[in-house]
């Protein structure tokens, strides 16, 4: 009888150790790959501060009942200097970086010139139709300055 109890204690101890080991090594957040698109996806391109890129920021609202494309978000637009048709549309991921400095344009609908830098990420949903020389991306801002 004692041997049976000792065997059961040993088996219980071994099983407990295995369960604890599996619990701590089984699932780690590091094992989850980043999404293919969106604000949490990998950076595709970096716009460094040293480029002194100047664009325009606006707060996009739904002005057309058919338009439900990323409304109620801040967008930055940038047109390349030597290509007036080459327009880059960037939806701001980290709006908290803007603070209250841009709150006035939410109500006014004003477009404001800014100098900015950040990390571009792939957008998940492209507009139905857009010119080939326009891009749509997310941006995680690293700096922004109202001009």
Which tokens go with 17?
Answer: 């150790």
Whether the predicted pLDDT of 4 surpasses 90: no
Which tokens go with 111?
Answer: 């477009």
**Model pLDDT, residue 28:** 58
Parse the chain into domains and list their residue ranges: 2-31, 43-146
pLDDT digits (tens, 9 = 90+) for 96-106: 999 999 999 99
Sequence-ordered list of residues with C-beta below 8 angstroms from that of 121, at least 6 positions apart, any chain: 37, 38, 39, 41, 42, 43, 44, 93, 137, 138, 139, 140
CATH of domain 43-146: 2.40.50
Whether the predicted pLDDT of 118 surpasses 60: yes
**Model pLDDT, residue 78:** 94
CA count, 13 A, side-chain hemisphere, 65:
0
Query: Could you tell me the CA-to-CA distances from 104 to 29, 89, 98, 111 in Å, in that order?
Result: 39, 21, 12, 10
Determine contact, residues 141/95, Cβ cutoff 8 Å.
no
In this prediction the pTM is: 0.74
pLDDT digits (tens, 9 = 90+) for 26-81: 555 566 777 889 999 999 999 999 999 999 999 998 877 777 788 899 999 999 99
């Amino acid at each position: 009888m004692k041997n049976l109890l000792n065997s059961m204690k040993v088996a219980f101890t071994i099983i407990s150790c295995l369960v604890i080991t599996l619990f701590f090594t089984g699932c780690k957040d590091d094992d989850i790959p980043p999404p293919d698109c969106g604000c949490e996806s990998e950076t595709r391109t970096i716009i460094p501060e040293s480029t002194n890129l100047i664009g325009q920021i606006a707060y996009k609202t739904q002005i057309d009942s058919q338009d439900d494309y990323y409304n109620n978000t801040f967008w930055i637009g940038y047109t390349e200097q030597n290509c007036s048709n080459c327009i880059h549309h960037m939806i701001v991921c980290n709006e908290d970086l803007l603070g209250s400095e841009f709150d006035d344009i939410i109500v006014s609908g004003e477009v404001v010139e800014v100098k900015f830098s950040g990390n571009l990420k792939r957008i998940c949903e492209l507009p139905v139709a857009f010119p080939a020389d326009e891009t749509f991306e997310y941006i995680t801002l690293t700096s922004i300055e109202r001009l």
